[in-house]
Structure 1
Amino acid sequence: MARRLLTASSVRTGLNIASWIAPALAGHGAYVTFCKTWKRANLRVTEQEVHASAIRDVVVVRGKRVVTYRWGDGVKPVLLLHGWRSRASRFASFVPQLLAHGYSPLSFDAPGHGHSGGEATTVAEYGRVIDEVQRRFGTFEAIVAHSYGVQCALLAVHNGVRTRRLVAISGVADLGFLVDEFHRRLGVNERVVRRLHRRVQQEVFSAGQGGGQRSPGARAEAAVPMLVIHDGSDTTVGMDHANRLIADYAGPARLLVTDRLGHQRILIAREVVQAVVEFVDETPRPASLALAPEADD
């Protein structure tokens, strides 16, 4: 613990000093630090059986080896996207239920996470992995994303990844929130934070999103139905993020609020898994039926 605190203190001091004598260097250093995962999440005992049953493959994106996981026969693929410093195995509770309903769950450990290569990743790189996974395994019936993965899913869909439905669980509504969290935890000065905000925004611009640091859903052309699930007691990503995701989204969206599940336990709650599977299973009513007048008695 002391070593970690000393490292954080050294990084903070170095970035703060550099912000006055070499601002561009400070911005670059902050961005590199911001993108590093530093610590990988461990595989939990409760996830081991499902994790071990997966078919593993490897895709390479910009030189990084990304481990993918597949269950089922490949028909009707549903992509599961983990959050920051997390891993694909966190969706173990979803796999049996999706299989039982005829879907083929698939997931991957993002660069710098789980069993994949690299020490860092970005929302743009995460999106490139999603695109490569779709190229290899086909159009998704649904994308189910958690936390940071929600922004990655929205950006990917905005940039052309095809899916019939979207599920955002405990989703981050904008990338600026992540920069502010970096600021709060590391304690760098405002000059560093302003540089980092600009660098993150440039990354999103270069990835094809012209809406700044707000949710890519605000400009998504592929306005597929979206289910937003958020816990009212989530202290990691507050309930306001769910409301903003709904408000910003260009397509039809609905909100499911859970109670006392927090930011992580929401992924293993039976009612959440059931709600997601039911949403993915829904068949949209044809427009002709939706608009037809009711018959007189």
Structure 2
Amino acid sequence: MKKTFKFIFTKSIGLYINILSLVYPDKAIQLAYSLFSEPRDGRLDKNNLPEILREAVTETHFHNKDHFQTYTWKGNDTTILLVHGWESNASRWENILPYLKQSGSTIIALDGPAHGLSSGKEFNIPQYASFIDVLAQKHQPQYLVGHSLGAKTCLYYQAEYQNQNIEKMVILGSPSDFKVILTNYTNMLSLNTTIYSGLEKHYLDNFKLKLDNFSGKYFASKIHTKGLIAHDTNDTIVLFNEAEKIAKTWKNAVFVTTKGLGHSLHDDILYKKIASFLFDTN
């Protein structure tokens, strides 16, 4: 019953946007973009933070018209920056933290745009990457770890900013082709070609991004940093072949395959492999 209601509700929204596009195409495109870019989950209550975040030193950073939150577990001069994915927040790193802390490193996790305690309603990768750069300039992290759309943001960041201080990157469950995501969205709502073309133009006009080049495999081809790509063969959120595309173009990365972990990739064995990759000096 719930699936039927969700299907009808979703298609009804799509029908409304399609009808609106016949009269007010710009408004219809903006509505479609807002629905696409606004997360429904992942917010935090500053008065009721998860215990793992209460253990950290919190800081609010201001960038342009936005502010974003970071959580720091202080250690030595080696710094790791953690970048969460869609509808998540900095607390998603709780399970891997003990493995990273064993190195004695300083660990910083941030809340992405419209997530956690950060400002805004819209999530987009270029903005998220600009947050990363603010922290990179301030803290000079040597290691970058991202999950899902946070992982793709890491790929985008390193491809565009070419930060020479980043020695190693870990990419977990990253999507590659943005066109796949956008096509899935428009198909889910049965949106017409006017809306799809309008969304494509929106990315070009606002972010100077052609969708063909807005892909993890394209970003990876521009990265010389050492990398570890991990993806689960049973991932139903981001299909396994997305990781294969990234691995084919990232010449300096190792590809770790898991089975049965799904999209979250929470696993002690994997965490040990990640720690070994980051901190092994060989």
- Bin for the TM-score computed over the shorter chain: 0.7 to 0.9
Q: Deviations over 1:126-158 (max 9, x none)?
A: 0110011112222x2211111111221111112
Q: What is the RMSD of the two structures over their aligned residues, measured on CA atoms?
A: 2.7
> Is the counterpart of residue 186 in structure 1 residue 189 in structure 2?
yes
**2:252 paired with 1:252:** yes
Residue number among 125, 128, 140 corresponding to 1:126 in the alignment: 128
Structure 2 counterpart of 1:157: 158
Q: Is the 8 A contact 1:234 1:261 kept in 2?
A: yes
What is the CA–CA distance in structure 1 between the aligned matches of 2:132 and 2:190, rounded to whole Å? 33
1:26-65 deviation per Cα after TM superposition (whole angstroms, max 9, x unaligned): 333322222111333569xxx9332221110011123222
For 1:5 and 1:74, how far apart are their aligned partners in 2?
51
Aligned to 2:32: 30
Normalization by structure 2: what TM-score? Answer: 0.87
> What do residues 165-209 of structure 1 show as CA deviations (whole Å, max 9, x unaligned)?
111111111222221232243332233123213323444436xx8
* Residues 205 and 212, structure 1, Cα contact 8 Å, conserved in 2: no
User: What residue is the counterpart of 2:262 in the other structure?
Assistant: 262
The equivalent residue for 1:236 is 237
Amino acid corresponding to residue 103 of structure 1 in structure 2: S
* Matches of 1:62 and 1:9, distance apart in 2: 37
Amino acid at match of 2:67: R
Check whether the contact 1:228–1:242 (CA below 8 A) recurs between aligned residues: yes
* Residues 71 and 95 in structure 1, CA contact (< 8 A), matched pair in contact too: no
Alignment CA distance shift 1:7-1:131 (3 Å)? farther
Query: Aligned residue for 1:66?
Result: 68
What does the per-residue CA deviation read over 1:247-268, in whole Å, with 9 as the maximum and x for residues that have no partner?
Answer: 232x41111111101012x1x2
8 Å CA contact 1:16–1:189 kept in 2: the answer is yes
**How many residues are matched?**
274
Evaluate the alpha carbon distance shift between residue 73 and residue 97 of structure 1 in structure 2; reply closer, same or farther with a 3 A threshold: same
Structure 2 counterparts to residues 169-248 of structure 1, below 5 A: 169-205=172-208, 212-215=213-216, 216-220=218-222, 222-248=223-249
Whole-angstrom distance in 2 between the partners of 1:151 and 1:241: 11
SS at match of 1:163: coil
> C-alpha separation between the residues in 2 aligned to 1:42 and 1:184?
31
**TM-score with structure 1 length normalisation?**
0.82
Partner of 2:139: 137
Aligned match of 1:96: 98
Return closer, same or farther for 1:204/1:131 CA change in 2, 3 Å cut-off: same
CA distance in 2, matches of 1:81, 1:120: 17
Name the counterpart of 1:293: none
Match of 1:287 in 2: none
Q: Distance in 1 between matches of 2:33 and 2:188?
A: 15
- The farther-off stretch of 22-31 and 275-284 is 22-31
Provide the C-alpha distance between the structure 2 equivalents of 1:211 and 1:87, rounded to a whole number of angstroms.
28
Where do 5+ consecutive residues of structure 1 fail to align? 285-297
In structure 2, stretches of 5+ residues that fail to align are: none
